[in-house]
Structure formats: structure tokens, C-alpha cells
């Protein structure tokens, strides 16, 4: 047998061909040079070539070799946007579900963008949305712009080799990006620890391309874990000299950088991209563990049945769609009203969280006047399809 032939090949359907089966009546096994494949590709039957084998596609979610839950980044294709997020320059603000930007000095704008049909970076995965980070005017050594996600529980991937991958492109020029991980041990826990890839800094172009960074996450030995711990996966788009160690001397940049297909997985290879759950509904539910936003489906959507406690307030119970990470710590709302027992729609003057659990909560909605104590009522949208009530349990 010629050097380089495999000793055994297992087809996707379970058929096995060994070295002695080369001329088996089940088909001819052709030699395939392993160096012709890209990282993450798998060997599969080529039905169009009389039982021969070929390398399967490595970049689309319909190819072989996937493991449920391998990607610890939730909403890596940016398909979930409960906040109806468009743009922010505020450091620490969340945008598309689970993603946030940190920045200092100058102006960094994080915005949600939409692909023109047919222009998504991966053939066969026609994604809809991506993220854009624009950094301008930074001058200080302490300046930075970081985009990423907090992965719940600092124990995640501890003392393991992991690969951080994503697609990126620049609006112009050839700026660079850097990536690393940060273990945050939570309130009352040990000091945080960075984990740096061997190659921290990579130049990008004006065409979509996939970039990957591999490193070993630090061990948990001797550490104390507090509350709200996490592993942060960070993409740096600009950084002053104070962060040379963290970024491989990325440097301050004025650049527009687009990002899509974010994945963090065990191992030293960036395998084919897939979302954390593999389904639209699953991804939404995974996002709702951290943030739930009930947006009106019609002008007078009903959010909850309520009881009038006073002529100016009602008390209502709301069931949460999933069990949240912790009891929500805050509530946000817009354009809410109370539908009284007489049929009057009375605009709210305030909405507060009275009690919060991981599966349900109680809210008090206040109005100026017009309610009857003891009567039933409804908490509703006040004539607007943009009305919402949102509960936050983010890390």
C-alpha cells in the first residue's frame, strides 16, 4: 500500500473501510491528501462518485461533525435582538442579545447592521445581522475599545485549550484586531486573570474572513469563586499602550470593523460555526436567561392581569418565559397603561418591581387617578406597538 493511505475510514453512515477493503465491491476508496483540507473538515461519502470519499464543507451548519452546545457564545450570529437595539456609544451597554462594548476615551459606536441578501460571509448560512464597531478620536495610553460577551461561570473551560473564532472585515485599510479571555471570579472572589493566545494580534482586510485565536484558559487552583462569576471573551478593536500585554501591542486605531459568527469552543481548531443551541427558539430562550423583553404585538397588548390596590395603583403578577439566571435586578418599560374595570385606558406614571424570582415577578403600576380599589384590571400597552416591559438579569 502506498505511503499516506489511511488504515481505516468510517463513513458518516457507519460503513467502515479498512486497508484490506480498497478493492471491496462496496466501492473504491481514493487517497485524499489530508493537507488539502481546512481546519474542521470531516471525511464523508461522496454519493456522486460511486462510493468514493471527499472532504465535507467546513463552514456551514448543515455539514457533519457538530456537537450540540459546543459554542459557548450565545447569539453568535446576532439573530436575537430583544432590545430592538440600533446603536450606542455608552461603555458597558448591551446591544444585540448577550453582546456589549466597553470603551474609554474618544468615541466608540457599537451598532446593529443588516446583511444585504446574498452577502453574508458564509455560503449556505444566510445570516441576517452583524455587529459594527467604529472607533474614533482616541489618543490616551489608557484608551480602549472592547467588544464581546460574558460567558456564565468562571469555571467554564478552566485549564482547557480553547479556540475563539469569528468573521471580520474592515470598511477600509488593514486595521488589526486582538482577542483574549478574562476570568472574572465574581463579587468576593479572587482577582481576575487574563489568558492570551499565542498570536494576539491579526491584521484584517476589507473582505469577510474568519480569524481564530487559540489559548489555554488559566487553572482554578487556589482561586476563590464569588457571586456572578464569568469568563469574558473579548475582541479588541483599539487599545492604548497601557494594554500592550493584553493585546499584543494592538495600538490606537480609528477604524470601522464588522463582526459576525462569534464562536468559543474547546480544542485547538476552529470547527464549523453553529449557534449555541442550533435553533431560533433555543437561542431566544438562552438569551432570555439573562434578559427578557415583552414587546407589544398590538397597540393594546395585555401584559398581566392586575388588582387595584389603590385608586392610583395596581399590583400584577408576570410569569417569565424561562427560568432566569438570577431574580431580575431591574425592570425597564415604555408606553404602559392600565385598563380599568370600566374600560378606561389610563397612562402609567411609574412601574416598579415589587418582587422578583427566577420564574415570576410582581410589579406595581401607578397612574394619576381613576381606579377603584379591589377591582380587577389589566396592564396593557398604551396604544403603541413599541411598548414594552423588560427584566434584566445580566452578568
pLDDT in tens, 243-261: 999 999 999 999 999 999 9
Query: Which one, of 144, 229, 228, 143, lies nearest residue 182 by Cα?
Result: 229
Please state, in angstroms and rounded to a whole number, the distance separating the CA atoms of residues 192 and 204.
29
Identify the H or E element spanning 104: strand 99-104
pLDDT reported for residue 333: 98
> Which strands, in side-by-side order, build the sheet including 330-334?
291-295, 388-392, 330-334
Region 10-26 average pLDDT: 50
DSSP code string of 196-240 = --SS-EEE--SS-EEEEEEEEPPP-TT----BT-EEEEEEEEEE-
User: Which residues does 99 contact at the CB level (< 8 Å), separation at least 6?
Assistant: 75, 78, 131, 147, 148, 149
Judge whether residue 179 has pLDDT over 70. yes
Grid-cell match 453582546, residue found? 99
* Res 25 pLDDT > 80: no
pLDDT of res. 124? 79
pLDDT band at 67 (very low <50, low <70, confident <90, very high): confident
Alpha carbon 76 to chain centroid, angstroms: 4
DSSP one-letter code for 386: T
Cell reading at 70: 459546543
CA-wise closest residue to 162 among 176, 151, 147: 151
User: pTM (2 decimals)?
Assistant: 0.85
Grade residue 16 by pLDDT with cuts at 50, 70 and 90.
Answer: low
User: 1-15, 122-136, 139-153: which has the minimum mean pLDDT?
Assistant: 1-15
The number of angstroms, rounded, from the C-alpha of 215 to the middle of its chain's C-alpha atoms is: 20
Q: Which residue has the higher pLDDT, 198 or 130?
A: 130
The CATH H-level (homologous superfamily) assignment of domain 87-287 is Galactose-binding domain-like (2.60.120.260)
Q: Are 150 and 101 in contact (CB under 8 A)?
A: no
Rg of the chain taking only CA atoms, in angstroms: 26
User: 167 near 209, Cβ under 8 Å?
Assistant: yes
Three-point CA angle 200, 203, 209, nearest 5°:
105
| Intervals of CATH 2.60.120.260 along the chain | 87-287
Q: Which of 219, 193, 214 is nearest to 202 (CA)?
A: 214
Q: Where are the beta strands (DSSP E) in 115-171?
A: 129-136, 144-152, 161-170
Average pLDDT over every residue of 350-369 = 97
Give residue 197's pLDDT band: very low, low, confident or very high (50, 70, 90).
Answer: very high
Distance of alpha carbon 200 from alpha carbon 318, whole angstroms:
46
- 291-392 CATH: 2.60.40
Tell me the C-alpha distance between 306 and 131, whole Å: 39
Mapped onto helix, strand or coil, the DSSP state of residue 291 is: strand
Query: Lowest-pLDDT range, 87-101, 110-124, 378-392?
Result: 110-124
pLDDT tens-digit map of 320-337: 999 999 999 999 999 999
Backbone angles phi, psi at 239, to 5 degrees: -160, 130
2: which 3 cell numbers? 502506498
Amino acid at each position: 500500500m502506498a505511503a499516506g493511505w489511511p488504515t481505516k475510514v468510517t463513513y458518516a453512515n457507519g460503513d467502515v473501510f479498512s486497508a484490506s477493503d480498497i478493492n471491496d465491491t462496496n466501492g473504491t476508496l481514493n487517497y485524499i491528501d489530508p493537507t488539502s483540507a481546512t481546519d474542521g473538515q470531516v471525511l464523508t461519502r461522496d454519493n456522486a462518485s460511486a462510493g468514493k470519499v471527499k472532504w465535507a464543507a467546513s463552514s456551514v451548519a448543515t455539514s457533519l461533525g457538530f456537537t450540540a452546545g459546543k459554542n459557548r457564545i450565545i447569539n453568535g450570529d446576532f439573530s436575537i435582538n430583544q432590545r430592538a437595539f440600533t446603536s450606542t456609544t455608552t461603555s458597558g451597554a448591551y446591544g444585540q442579545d448577550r453582546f456589549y462594548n466597553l470603551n474609554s476615551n474618544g468615541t466608540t459606536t457599537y451598532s446593529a447592521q443588516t446583511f444585504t441578501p446574498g452577502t453574508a460571509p458564509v455560503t449556505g448560512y444566510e445570516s441576517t445581522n452583524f455587529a459594527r464597531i467604529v472607533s474614533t478620536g482616541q489618543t490616551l495610553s489608557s484608551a480602549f475599545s472592547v467588544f464581546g460577551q460574558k460567558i456564565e461561570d468562571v469555571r467554564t473551560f478552566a485549564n482547557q485549550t480553547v479556540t475563539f473564532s469569528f468573521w471580520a472585515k474592515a470598511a477600509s485599510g488593514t486595521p488589526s484586531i486582538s482577542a483574549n479571555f478574562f476570568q472574572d471570579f465574581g463579587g468576593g472572589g479572587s482577582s481576575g486573570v487574563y489568558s492570551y493566545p499565542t498570536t494576539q494580534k491579526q491584521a484584517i482586510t476589507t473582505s469577510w474572513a474568519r480569524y481564530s485565536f487559540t489559548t489555554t484558559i488559566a487553572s482554578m487552583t487556589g482561586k476563590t469563586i464569588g457571586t456572578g462569576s464569568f469568563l469574558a471573551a473579548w475582541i479588541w478593536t483599539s487599545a492604548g499602550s497601557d494594554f500592550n500585554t493584553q493585546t499584543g501591542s494592538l495600538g490606537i486605531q480609528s477604524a470601522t470593523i464588522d463582526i459576525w459568527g462569534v464562536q468559543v469552543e474547546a480544542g485547538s481548531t476552529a470547527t464549523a460555526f453553529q449557534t449555541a443551541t442550533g435553533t431560533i427558539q433555543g437561542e431566544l430562550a438562552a438569551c432570555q436567561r439573562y434578559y427578557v423583553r415583552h414587546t407589544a404585538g398590538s397597540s393594546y397588548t395585555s401584559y398581566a392581569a392586575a388588582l387595584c390596590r389603590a385608586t392610583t395603583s395596581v399590583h400584577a403578577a408576570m410569569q417569565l418565559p424561562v427560568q432566569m439566571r438570577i431574580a431580575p435586578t431591574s425592570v425597564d418599560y415604555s408606553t404602559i397603561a392600565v385598563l380599568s374595570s370600566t374600560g378606561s385606558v389610563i397612562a402609567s406614571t411609574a412601574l416598579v418591581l415589587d418582587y422578583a424570582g427566577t420564574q415570576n415577578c410582581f410589579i406595581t403600576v401607578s397612574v394619576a387617578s381613576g381606579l377603584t380599589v379591589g377591582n380587577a384590571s389589566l396592564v396593557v400597552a398604551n396604544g403603541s406597538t413599541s411598548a414594552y416591559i423588560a427584566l434584566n438579569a445580566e452578568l
